[in-house]
Amino acid sequence: MIRISRLAPLLAVFALGSAHADEVQVAVAANFTAPIQAIAADFEKDTGHTLIAAYGATGQFYTQIKNGAPFEVFLSADDTTPQKLENEGDTLKGSRFTYAVGTLALWSAKEGYVDARGEVLKHNQFKHLAIANPKAAPYGLAATQVLARQGLTDTVKDKLVEGQNITQAYQFVSTGNAELGFVALSQIFKDGKVTSGSAWIVPASMHDPIKQDAVILNKGKDSAAAQALVEYLKGPKAAAIIKSYGYEL
């Protein structure tokens, strides 16, 4: 059985308790929700282990991990947070690696609203622009870098609607509460095409690379399931799924 939980408040996360030998509790960056759910099915079938995931912003997970949350593996939305945890002695040495390189997209749920070069930003005819919290979510930080590069920071600052994480930023747009927003390409992309609405796939040169690192945390250092998951993420089945959602490897 695959059990996937939504991000809960810290107390609820603590209530997960200790994992059994055949379970691995994973903190997953919100942008990677769909890929890890697809990977989890194959992972269980191929290894017999069960993946239990919580989703949220990388910065929030850092705080929860430092406060003793029972995660065994951390799939971050950046490379700096896992490295920081490693430097602070909270991870299994040598386990950190880049499992995906993310892509940022400007997206609207409306067909034809966002042009292929993102000129809709400069036209400035929208009322709301959704982004993830740049202090907690690397995709939100990347969005602010794109706006700064285009000289639009001051122009759009009063129109920004800030989500707690990239999932919430996506929800603002998908529900129509914001006409457009910066999201992870993986949220709107599958098998080579944008699945709904209209989007501008932001060139990687317009922001810092979104290198997403995975690491085994101290609570998972003796877990066979944690080790199996990390190795599985490096394998061909996981790689094919990750690439199908628009990530680079």
Q: Name the binding residues.
A: 58, 166
SS3 26: strand
Alpha-carbon distances, residue 17 vs 27, 44, 93, 175 (angstroms): 14, 20, 24, 35
Question: How far is it, in rounded angstroms, from Cα 134 to Cα 132?
Answer: 6
DSSP per-residue string spanning 88-118: TT-B-TT--EEEEEE-EEEEESSTTSS-TT-
E strands, 30-137, where?
50-56, 73-75, 97-102, 104-108, 129-132
Task: Write out the binding residues for molybdate.
Answer: 58, 166
Gap between the terminal Cα atoms of the chain: 28
Q: Which residues are CB-contacts of 87 (< 8 A; sequence separation ≥ 6)?
A: none
Cβ-based neighbour number of residue 165 at 10 Å: 27
Q: Which of 48, 99, 46 is nearest to 77 (CA)?
A: 99
Supply the DSSP symbol for 229. Answer: H
Question: How far is it, in rounded angstroms, from Cα 140 to Cα 122?
Answer: 19
